Amino acid sequence: MPKDHGIGASPKRREDVRFLTGEGNYTDDINVNGQAYVHFLRSDVAHGKINGIDTSAAAAMPGVVKIFTGADFEGIGGLPCGWQVTDKHGEPMQEPAHPVLAQGKVRHVGDPIAAVVAESVEQARDAAEAIEVDIEELPAVVDMKAALSEGATKVHDDLTSNLCYDWGFVEEVKPDVDAAFETAAHVTTLELVNQRMVANPMEPRVAIGDYSRGTDEHTLYTTSQNPHVIRLLMGAFVLGIPEHKLRVVAPDVGGGFGTKIFHYAEEAFCTFAAKACNRPVKWTSSRSEAFMSDAHGRDHVTKIELALDADNNFIALRTDTLANMGAYLSTFAPSVPTWLHGTLMAGNYKTPLIHVNVRAVFTNTVPVDAYRGAGRPEATFQLERVVDKAARELGVDPIALRRQNFITEFPYATPVAVEYDTGDYHGTMDALEGLIDRDGFAARRAESEKNGKLRGLGVNCYIEACGIAPSNLVGQLGARAGLYDAATVRVTATGSISVMVGAHSHGQGHETSFPQVVAEMIGIDESQIDIVHGDSSKIPFGMGTYGSRSIAVCGSAMVRATEKIIAKAKKIAAHLLEASDADIELKDGQFSVAGTDKSVAWGDVTLAAYVPHNYPLEDIEPGLEETAFYDPANFTYPSGAYACEVEVDPETGKVTIESFAAADDFGNIINPMIVDGQVHGGIGQGIGQALLENCVYDENGQLMTGSYMDYAMPRADDVPFYAVDHSSQTPCTHNPLGVKGCGEAGAIGSPPSVINAVVDALQSGGHDVTHIDMPASPSRVWAAMNK
Amino acid sequence: MYNFDYEKPSTVADAVAALGDEDAQALGGGQTLIPTLKQRLASPTTLVSLSGISEMQGITDEGGSITIGGATVHADVASNGAIAALSDLAGNIGDPAVRNRGTIGGSLANNDPSACYPSAALGLGATIVTNTREIAADDYFQGMFSTALDEGEIITAVKVPKPEAANYQKFEQPASRFALVGVFVAKTSGGVRVAVTGASEEGVFRWSEAEAALNGNFSADALEGMAPDADGMIADLHGTSAYRAHLVGVMTRRAVAACS
């Protein structure tokens, strides 16, 4: 019988009531009295020198409050990068300036040149059209290999080249890795592209800056996954606003997927302009602007090689990747192809020797940063594709080859610097095999062939590293921030509870799942507990939500704070019951003296805390409110095995997904329904990457896929009903809930199985196809069959 | 969008008069025009809505043919059923919001090279009725976004003869779900007509080689191995010209097979 409350129950998401009835409060729903509107004049060329900007005609247009250009931001900090990667020679990465508004040059289509603040959006737009910009177009740097060639045009004139860094991991091991390849019985090589993606959250970005002359206080309302990170970056590094004078509010946010982690120019602009104009200033991105100003994701070009011995054991792995940074370094961009990618290259396998090389490259394109999975999908895709290719070359069963090489003993220190605390890869593969009826595949394939279709089955494993930590380690790796989180548990006199959390919920369902934990710990009803998040003036300093970290990191802080609450409440109860605190037991919201029938209720204790008439004032303070910060000892390592079955129409190349199964190990699970939903959404995005989505620039740096007319988002009829299984559970060993995180798994784990299935289908039809790059669109699949 | 005046006449005559102004623009369902205005890519001084003209609404069945008012929305054509292939085509344009705003007259006047309706009009040998004349479909489509319409001329109705058999096969462009290639095949009293949309740089066209083959033998087998020349086919992110030419063959065979 499933639980109906507390940890492990699946109450419906309480936040959906407001989301589904139009009662959500998104940033664009906020209108501040007296607000003006900003329109950004953006570059329509990818690379150019700004010879002059004439705003005089525009400034005289109706409704114009003020026009800003890069000159207004001279002497003001640029957008900072939050992670410094050290290259294989021990040198820091090349780090270009990133001005709020372009200074001297534009470096990608969409780079903001000027900003018009006006009484209405349309007036701002009218005036922006009247700004005369004299731009001398320069050759655009688009292709990464060309960007690194001798004599290539430089995106940043003050850097030595377009190379951000050349990272080797672990560089000292490279000779051993190369030597292993010399002696290998078999080497499988694969060159592939992990294409550029646009996150496309349903809600576009919005920012409203507000400033009070009376108090010298700034407020920024913004669509962010991490308001405190924005407060720190923007306050300290861009605008020099003391943090206590800056409030950042991220109210309801309509999806982030990573792209709302970063600090953007528009946020800094609205905050700056609100003071300069003494007016609240609001910006709402159009979808077209989002395509050319939201950080993009992925965009790796990789060569991976796997060496096996005569018994098909993996003996060495090496990869060489070009990673596109775009025109500037977005907040966490340098960490994605390195520490979030290289450290995952062991996957689920005991490959003893691994070397990862990554060269990060500047191009005249929108900056690239974390997108759901962030480095881990790129690692998983290449590894699981090369393992599948090896199985085909060797003529062995792809599942058997994987099982043979699984890590089976934990903790396991990989050769790429991380230690998996726990896992059971055979367990998730067993669960997967229980979902997919592999024995019936031959019959299903025969049935498809009778209908003129090719059928394929693809399988892959994945390992994920979530809740990136601990802070002292990531600091050594180049992070310029801590990666703890925080929670304050505030109990009222009547026993209800507000939990102020540093994590931000924008689709993850925290408002439902977090109270389940506190309710379980205290033994009261979840309806007595609310989560407060997203407002830096209400919550403790937390690092926000990304990297599947919320329950593992912030949830752990919440547990620690609740433990403090319970410890203090027991002291109060002991006083009320005239017993020793050591004898007090808490169960189902009742404090009782062990071995007696004496008890007081939760509400009696909370009332005593705030009306301390009968209270040990000499020993403990009144009130019941506790804060905890939690800095994890390690990452968490969710893992799983996924399978996809496809049909390919050989006449058109169209791929349809017939079934998709996912067996994940997330450790302990708080709300199974929400976890299923996270996996469903992640797989949807993974299928989108595998079959549909592709952000394309032409050779001049023009964005070819700037709208949904050309950028193919997955729709409901592109995906099947999913079979998911989360029964294989090896709890995390180092956090108090034993949880691992589930937000990115679907997006990490699904693309390889889709492509493995497409290759399987094509080979079954006699086509000599060993790889197909994503998205496996109809035209690409048809071309592969007809090359 | 830029400012404009808005008029909603109730008769064709008033609409024609309103369109007499220079820079006035007729507004059908607005499914192309409104996004264009929002992107500031057009700046008409006056929008003349055709949606309030009752004589341009609805579908009448005249036995051997149907007449569809120029302002009739796709959803109404989809639910009509008098010509099943035409209704199926209309029912797969865009999404429900598009189908309940977009009109047949608007689509034919725009003549988007990837739109579905042009292939039906050409495939069925429809007659485009305007406020001044009647134009045979064969004379109406004059290349991508180009038609025989004069400035200010309004499509008031489309007369569509009922075919002996017909079918439309659409292969969707993955992002927009417009036709990457759409083929409308109709067996009519005057012979077989094969109209192709989405594929050609010249917009909708009749594939005469296929028509000749099908007039001799109306079966998919008659088209075995046939595809139009890839020269002149559209090449873009979603498919090469060779792929589109190939798809024309595939979709035509499927349409023929579905007719019988």
Residue A749 binned pLDDT confidence (cut-offs 50, 70, 90): very high
B193, β-bridge pairs:
B186
Quote the radius of gyration of chain B (alpha carbons, Å).
18
Greatest alpha-carbon pair distance for chain B in Å reads 57
Q: Enumerate the domain spans of chain B.
A: 5-49, 57-161, 165-259
Q: Kindly report the nearest CA distance between residue B37 and chain A, in angstroms.
A: 13
Q: Enumerate the domain spans of chain A.
A: 16-22+484-630, 31-138+202-255+260-293, 297-469+634-785
- pLDDT value at position B22? 84
- A563/A518 Cα distance (integer angstroms): 9
Beta strands in A276-413 (DSSP E): 281-284, 297-308, 314-326, 353-362, 412-413
Query: Phi first, then psi: what are they for A676, rounded to 5°?
Result: -55, -45
Q: Which residues of A touch B240 (CB under 8 A)?
A: 779, 783
Res. A426: pLDDT tops 80: yes
- A73/A95 Cα distance (integer angstroms): 19
Res. B127: pLDDT tops 70: yes
- pLDDT value at position A100? 97
As to burial, measured by CB atoms within 10 angstroms (0-12 exposed, 13-18 middle, 19+ buried), residue A382 is: buried
Q: Kindly report the nearest CA distance between residue B239 and chain A, in angstroms.
A: 5
Residue B249 at interface with chain A, using a CB cutoff of 8 Å:
no
Rounded mean pLDDT, A222-251: 96
- pLDDT value at position A787? 87
Return the number of CB contacts < 8 Å for A and B: 46
Rounded mean pLDDT, B159-186: 98
Q: Is the Cα dihedral A424, A425, A426, A427 positive or negative?
A: positive
Q: Is B195:B177 a contact under the CB 8 Å cutoff?
A: no
Residue A121 at interface with chain B, using a CB cutoff of 8 Å:
no
The hierarchical CATH code for the domain B5-49 is 3.30.43.10
Question: Could you report the per-residue pLDDT of A98-119, keeping only the tens digit for each?
Answer: 999 999 999 999 999 999 999 9
Q: What CATH number matches the domain at B57-161, 3.60.15.10, 3.40.50.300, 3.40.630.30, 3.30.465.10?
A: 3.30.465.10
For the domain made up of A297-469+634-785, give the CATH fold.
Aldehyde Oxidoreductase; domain 4 (3.30.365)
Q: Closest to B250 (Cβ–Cβ): which among A125, A651, A775?
A: A651
The hierarchical CATH code for the domain A16-22+484-630 is 3.30.365.10
Span between the terminal Cα atoms of chain A, in Å: 56
- pLDDT value at position A1? 61
- pLDDT value at position B96? 96
- pLDDT value at position A515? 98
Average pLDDT, chain A: 97
- B53/A689 Cα distance (integer angstroms): 46
- pLDDT value at position A469? 84
Q: Kindly report the nearest CA distance between residue A710 and chain B, in angstroms.
A: 5
Q: Closest to B238 (Cβ–Cβ): which among A129, A779, A783?
A: A779
- pLDDT value at position B21? 86
Res. B260: pLDDT tops 80: no
Distances from the Cα of B253 to the Cα of A90, B210, B241, angstroms: 63, 10, 19
Q: Is A108:A327 a contact under the CB 8 Å cutoff?
A: yes
Q: Is the Cα dihedral B126, B130, B133, B138 positive or negative?
A: negative
Cβ pair B175:A692 closer than 8 A: yes
Cβ pair A779:B239 closer than 8 A: yes
Cβ pair B175:A710 closer than 8 A: yes
- A635/A373 Cα distance (integer angstroms): 14
Angle between helices A555-577 and A602-610 (to 10 degrees): 90
Question: Could you report the per-residue pLDDT of A611-660, keeping only the tens digit for each?
Answer: 999 999 999 999 999 999 999 999 999 999 999 999 999 999 999 999 99
Architecture of domain B165-259: 2-Layer Sandwich (3.30)
Give the contacts of A274 (CB within 8 A, at least 6 positions apart): A209, A210, A211, A218, A280, A281
- Residues 767-786 on A with a CB inside 8 Å of B are 775, 777-779, 782-783
Q: Kindly report the nearest CA distance between residue B257 and chain A, in angstroms.
A: 14
Cβ pair A705:B239 closer than 8 A: no
| DSSP 3-state of A176 | helix
Question: Quick one: tokens of A221?
Answer: 């309302």
Q: Is A383:A371 a contact under the CB 8 Å cutoff?
A: no
- pLDDT value at position A435? 97
* Whether CATH 4.10.520.10 fits A31-138+202-255+260-293: no
A297-469+634-785 matches A31-138+202-255+260-293 in CATH topology: no
Res. B148: pLDDT tops 80: yes
Beta strands in B99-232 (DSSP E): 127-130, 134-136, 155-161, 165-172, 179-188, 191-197, 205-206
Beta strands in B176-250 (DSSP E): 179-188, 191-197, 205-206
Cβ pair A712:B174 closer than 8 A: yes
